[in-house]
Amino acid sequence: MSWHFISKFYLIMKYVLLYISLFIATIWLFIWSLTLGPIHIPINKIIDLIRHPEATLEWRIIYETRLPRALIGVLTGSCLAIAGVILQYVTRNLMACPSLLGINQGAQLGILLILITAPFTQLPIVILYALVGGAVAGLVTYLLVYSMGVSALKLVLVGQAINALLYAISLSLIILFPQKSGVILVNINGSLAGSSWQSFHTVAPILFIAIIACYVYIKKIHILSLGEEIATSLGINIKWLLAIAFIIVTSLCSLSVSLVGQILFFPLIAVNFSKIILKSNSPFHLLIVAMFIGAILMTLSDCLMRYIYIDQEVPIGIFMSLIGAPVLVLCARIKQ
């Protein structure tokens, strides 16, 4: 009895410690990202400002640009990561990743389409197009894989093929509509530079709803990942659940893309990292850890880019896939 108690206590302590350290890391990165920029604002100054907000230039710089940027970084990072978790459970596939399934590229194409037909459209409409584009691309990929019989390799290959196809279509569109200045330099490479409170306010509520939905359905989705028979015997409506999961994943990914652009491999890296850190199969904890890891990864890469190139904006999307690919390879090795 006491042994049982101790082991349970130990387990709880383990999670508590894990969460505390992840939380501290996130907060630390968050504050670091607030200090970074062309105008140097030291940490103690920031703490001062938080205690006694006054309408100085420093305060406005932090409040108006760095804070939304940091928040969007944290938000999109965690959203992409949990989208990865859900997708892996649903597909029962360790290599499933929204950016490899064409969802992100589809959202990108959707944005490109609306910018070609009507440059400088209002943000909500752009986001709608991103959603539709992502949903269609994701659906097409998954239906294709499904019709061939699902396997890890097929998922990656078909996703990669659809990605390449969408990329080629985007490029051809740019070549075929040269006069549309809206097309010029769409946020192709993934960057947090365009972050503002406005984009945060428009997108964040939907993302929060999606995140909550993840937590509500994660148990059922996990059961589904154990086998369809078990799920049906427990009274789960599989078709419904799949539809919900699909809606959650596409909205998480497409909305993140509309905020920060295309970031290849990101969800896959975040999920795999989380699994290594967590070392347990609890879906609930995986979801939480993945959220933290996603936020940390996104903020960290943005901070690094801003730390190295102080006066310039360098897209983090390219940087992410630069560090992402080796991590992916490593993960593929460790899992064996």
Partner 1 sequence: MITNHKINKLIILFITAITICYTSLMLGFTYYSITDVIDTLIYKQDINGSYFAIFDIRIPRMLMGVLCGSMFALSSSLLQSVFRNPMASSETLGINSASALFVLIGISLFGKSSEYSLLCYSLIGAALGFTITLFSSLDQGKILRVRLIIVGIAIGAFFKSASQFIMTFQDEKLSSFVSFLNGTLYSSTIESASAIIIPSIIVVSITFCCIKQIDLLQLSDDVAISIGFNVTRWKIIIIFLALLLTAIAVSCVGSLGFIGLISPNIARLIFGYSNKYTLLASSLIGIILTISADIIGRIIFIPYEIAPGIISIIIGVPYFLYIMRKLRY
Partner 2 sequence: MKLINSSFLKKLFAGACALIIATNANASTSYPLKVKAENGEVVIKTKPKRIVVLEFGLLDELKLLGVKPVGIGTSDATEGNDPEHLQTFIKTIPSVGTRDEPSLEAIAKLKPDLIIGDYSLIANLLPQLNKIAPTLLMNGILGNPNEQVKNLKTLAKVTDTETKVPAILKQYNKIKAQAEKIAAKSPQKTILIGFVTPSGVFRVLTANAIATPILNELNRKNLITEVDNMHRVDITVESVINKNPDQIILLLTDGNKAPYEKLASNPLWNDVRANKENQVYFMDRNVWAKTHGIEAMEIMYKEAMSSGMFNTESSK
Q: Please choose which of partner 2, partner 1, none residue 196 contacts, taking the beta carbon within 5 to 8 angstroms, the exact cut-off set by kind.
A: partner 2
Cα-based distances in Å from 228 to 84, 91, 153, 216, 248:
20, 12, 22, 19, 20
Task: Report how far residue 150's alpha carbon sits from residue 135's, in angstroms, rounded to the nearest whole number.
Answer: 19
Task: Report how far residue 280's alpha carbon sits from residue 260's, in angstroms, rounded to the nearest whole number.
Answer: 31
Q: Looking only at residues 188 through 207 of this chain, which bind partner 2 when binding is defined by CB under 8 A?
A: 191, 193-194, 196, 198
Residue closer to partner 1, measured from CB, 16 or 329: 329
Instruction: With beta carbons less than 8 A apart as the criterion, state whether 172 and 144 touch.
Output: no
Residue selected from 67, 157, 186, 277 as contacting partner 2 according to rule CB under 8 A: 186
Smallest gap from residue 221 Cβ to partner 1 (A): 24
Task: Report how far residue 187's alpha carbon sits from residue 263's, in angstroms, rounded to the nearest whole number.
Answer: 11
Q: Which stretch binds partner 2 (CB under 8 A): 132-140, 150-158, 231-239, 306-314?
A: 306-314
- Token readout for 57 is 């230039």
Smallest gap from residue 175 Cβ to partner 1 (A): 6
Binding site for partner 1 (CB under 8 A): 95, 144, 147-148, 151-154, 156-158, 160-162, 164-165, 167-169, 171-172, 175-176, 189, 264-265, 314-315, 318-319, 321-322, 324-326, 328-329, 332-333, 336
**Contacts for 34 with CB less than 8 Å, ≥ 6 apart:** 41, 46, 62, 66, 67, 70
Q: What are phi and psi of 316, to 5 degrees?
A: -85, -15
Interface with partner 2, residue 37, by CB under 8 A: yes
Instruction: With beta carbons less than 8 A apart as the criterion, state whether 326 and 314 touch.
Output: no
Q: Which stretch binds partner 2 (CB under 8 A): 2-10, 114-122, 158-166, 267-275?
A: 114-122
Interface with partner 2, residue 35, by CB under 8 A: no
Residue selected from 183, 223, 264, 320 as contacting partner 2 according to rule CB under 8 A: 183
Task: Report how far residue 254's alpha carbon sits from residue 106's, in angstroms, rounded to the nearest whole number.
Answer: 8
Residues that bind partner 2 (CB under 8 A): 37-39, 57, 60-61, 64-66, 115, 119-120, 174-175, 177-179, 181-187, 191, 193-194, 196, 198, 311-314
